[in-house]
Structure 1
Amino acid sequence: MAVAAIVTVGLIGADTIHTKASTTTDTFIATMSTPVKTVANAYKLYPSVMMAQAALESGWGTSTLSTSANNYFGIKGSYNGQSVTMSTAEYDSSSQLYYTNAAFKKYPTISASLTDNAQLLRNGISSDPTYYSGTWRENAATYEDAANALTGKYATAPTYGTSLINLIQTYGFNSLDSSSSSSSSSTTTTTKKKPTITYYSTLNGETGTLSSKYKSYAIYNHVKGSAYKTTKYKWTTVGGWSGRPVWFDGRAYKSDSKTTWYRIRFSKQTTAKRYWVYSKAVSLPKTTYTKEKKTATFTATSNPVYDHVYNSSYLASQLTTTKALGTGKMSVDCKGVITQNGVASTWYRVTSGKTTGWVKSTAISKLS
């Protein structure tokens, strides 16, 4: 596991915090409850998890980072050019603790710190916008699921999720989740019945074009009907034309309308502005599937294994590699042929143990 970009400052454990909290807990909870509920619900996150994170990371608001910089989550970097340098504890790939100096964001207010943390969880990292999608309420059935989804991603501490859950259960933070519907107008907005939208993590290099009927559909900054404030753009503003190349880095499914949406950008650069469009506004290569009942042996070269055929309408994310699956025979139950720019490529769905994924035909040395 690589060292995460965000780490627990001081790595105060749940038991330590429980001991320290006797004189600070009431003040901390009274101060943080309202802004935590407001911000967490605005971004469809669990207030209980946000409160536990703030308590764990800041030592109930007593850490130097929280008192001098309003930084309650140990987020590194600078905020509007403001930062403070502090010593921080991290874990290496062998789960060994070590210390290093780092610059951390300095916020003007508590709400600014909460909001920046919420935006990070919702927007992910540059290479993966859905990096923290396990914390989203539409993906996490319980606060426990959301808390555990942070382990190894938000913090390098191997017991990070467990520490958060212990705090939530010890101090009843889960009441923030159930009571939030009547606490404020912003909370009421987020608890209104909204379409169930499931987001899927995908790669950044898959491509397609704007369809011939793209003008019949709008382009947005969020999936239409989601809990976020949605802005609709004019195609003349973003420069659309039929056949214009687009790059994909996200897929979403709306269960109420049974529609698929894609997040696109008009440049290969992953830093380019991204937009959400209804699936019929874009064209992806056609994939034809047929059932197979064969066995496959991989080549000696390591190749990626995806959850879907690469560049198909489902888009793909990498599960593992053929090298990791081993050299034995793999069962094959489906073949997919995808044609892009007049070139056809064949893919096979293979199963090895508990892993099922798609590999390109060139990754297979023998098929029988």
Structure 2
Amino acid sequence: MKLWKKLTIVLVSVFGLSAATTETVRADTHTDFINRMSQPVLKVSRQNHLYGSVMMAQAALESNWGTSELSLNAHNYFGVKGNYDGHSVTMSTAEANPGGSMYNTLAQFKVYPSAQASLRDYAKVLRGGTTWNPFLYEGAWRENASSYMTATNIVAENYATDKNYASKLNKIILDYDLHDRLDRTSANSTDADTSTRLTPGVDYDSYDGTATVKPGTIKFYNGVPTASDKAKVVRTKQLANKQVKVTARGIVTKDQTIWYQVKSGSVTGWIQITDILGLKNH
């Protein structure tokens, strides 16, 4: 065999092996990211009635599969600006001017203590919208979106300027089977997407504690109520003077009214802080 033929075979083999190795490393990085984030995504998406597949795909896209400086050093997986409990980091970011041209500028980004804190904070954006429109993302809520593709369209329309944003999210979901892995497993009667109604304009947080329900008449709701909500009909005598498990807290941002989700046996609902005694966080 001539020398140039041998050399050609060697080069093709080397470059082919290199490309295959790169593809394998990339696939492993993506799989590792999904495995690492699955439990936090499942928990937060269930609590907030959101599609876990969309949350995972967006975290992957925004953080470059957990390799971005912001995700590595600040647990910020969605590029959220501002500060979190007073913590932030200043980094360079690309912005678009009114004419559509891109330029680099410095901006403050939130620094989170954990990946789950980043997911919870992002979920609050999707559930609570903005100060001028708390229903901005309501089309992406599981009770309103008939499929994850409906949700990605709503998120893309309001979250990103990239015209291909929805298709990028959908491709990640399809390539890694995220719908079966994160959506179907969270659609059962024990999850928040079927047992709890979330109200826009309420700052939610998980809570692990106990309390005692006051005696007498209390108002008991399916969710943190709006002005038009009527109290859920329950036999309050079952709960009076009884210790209950406290699973979540909701603060109405407009008037700072505090509500707690309590559970006793098969009875679950929201009551105002003034209707419980001896609240303890475990």
TM over 0.5: yes
Mapped partners of 2:156, 2:25: distance in 1: 24
Distance 2:174 2:229 in 1: 33
Displacement of 1:127 after TM fit?
1.3
Q: Give the Cα–Cα distance (whole angstroms) in 1 for the partners of residues 147 and 63 of structure 2.
A: 24
Tell me the secondary structure at the aligned position of residue 85 of structure 2.
coil
Matched residue type, 1:65: L
Greater strand share, structure number: 1
- Kindly indicate whether the alpha-carbon contact (under 8 Å) linking 2:47 and 2:193 is maintained by their aligned counterparts in 1: no
1:178 to 184, 188, 205: 184
Q: 2:106 aligns with which of 98, 101, 104?
A: 101
1:21 partner letter: R
| 1:252 CA drift (Å) | 8.2
Matches of 1:50 and 1:170, distance apart in 2: 15
Which residue is equivalent to 2:95? 90
Q: Which stretches of structure 1, 4 residues or more, deviate above 3 A after TM superposition?
A: 18-21, 90-98, 191-195, 250-254
How far 1:118 moved relative to its partner?
0.5
Amino acid at match of 1:177: D
Using a 3 Å threshold, how does the CA distance of structure 1 residues 217 and 139 change in structure 2: closer, same or farther? farther
Pairwise CA distance, 1:113: 0.5
Aligned match for 1:79, one of 76, 84, 95: 84
Compared with structure 1, are the counterparts of its residues 96 and 82 closer, same or farther at alpha carbon in structure 2 (3 Å cutoff)?
same
Task: Return closer, same or farther for 1:225/1:119 CA change in 2, 3 Å cut-off.
Answer: same
Distance of aligned partners of 1:150 and 1:251 in 2 relative to their CA distance in 1, 3 Å threshold: farther
Q: Is the 8 A contact 2:127 2:137 kept in 1?
A: yes
Task: Work out whether residues 91 and 157 of structure 1, in 8 Å CA contact, stay in contact via their aligned partners in 2.
Answer: no
User: Which residue matches 2:129?
Assistant: 124
Q: Residues 130-163 of structure 1: CA distance to partner in whole angstroms, max 9, x if unpaired?
A: 1221221112111111111012422222222221
Q: How far apart, CA to CA, are the structure 2 residues paired with 1:170 and 1:253?
A: 43
* Partner SS state of residue 159, structure 2: coil
Tell me which amino acid in the other structure corresponds to 1:114. L
The 1:252/1:113 distance shift into structure 2, 3 A limit, reads farther
Shift of 1:93: 4.8
**Matched residue SS, 1:103:** strand
Task: Specify which structure has the bigger relative contact order, considering alpha-carbon pairs within 8 angstroms and separated by 6 or more residues.
Answer: 2
Flag the 1:163–1:94 CA change in 2: closer, same or farther, 3 A.
farther
Corresponding residue SS for 1:88: strand
Residue 192 of structure 1 and its aligned partner are, at CA, apart by: 4.2
Match of 2:265 in 1: none
Partner of 1:158: 163
Q: Which runs of 5+ in 1 are unaligned?
A: 1-17, 200-215, 233-249, 258-264, 266-270, 276-368
- 2:190 aligned partner: 188
Residue number among 58, 65, 89 corresponding to 1:60 in the alignment: 65
Q: Do the aligned partners of residues 194 and 123 (structure 1) sit closer, same or farther apart at CA in structure 2, a change above 3 Å counting?
A: closer
Give per-residue Cα distances to partners, 1:15-42, cap 9 Å, x unaligned: xxx9973231121011000110100110
Q: For 1:19 and 1:129, how far apart are their aligned partners in 2?
A: 43
Which residue of 34, 44, 47 maps to 2:39?
Answer: 34
* 1:225 correspondence with 2:222: yes
Helix, strand or coil at the partner of 1:188: coil
C-alpha distance in 2 between matches for 1:21 and 1:66: 17
Contact 1:36–1:51 under 8 Å retained in 2: yes
Shift of 1:194: 5.9
TM-superposed deviation, 1:47: 0.1
SS of 2:160's partner is coil
Identical aligned pairs, as a percentage? 43
The aligned residue for residue 272 of structure 1 is: 254
SS of the equivalent of 1:179 reads helix
Deviation at 1:189, TM superposition (A): 3.0
- 1:22 equivalent in alignment to 2:27: yes
Separation in 2 of the partners of 1:252 and 1:42? Answer: 24
CA distance, structure 1, for counterparts of residue 112 and residue 256 of structure 2:
27
What letter matches 1:273 in structure 2? D
Which protein is richer in helix relative to its size?
2
Contact 2:92–2:107 at 8 Å: present in 1 too?
yes
Q: Which runs of 5+ in 2 are unaligned?
A: 1-22, 201-216, 234-251, 258-282
Letter of the structure 2 residue corresponding to residue 24 of structure 1: T
Task: Find the aligned partners of 2:228 and 2:97 in 1 and give their Cα distance.
Answer: 34
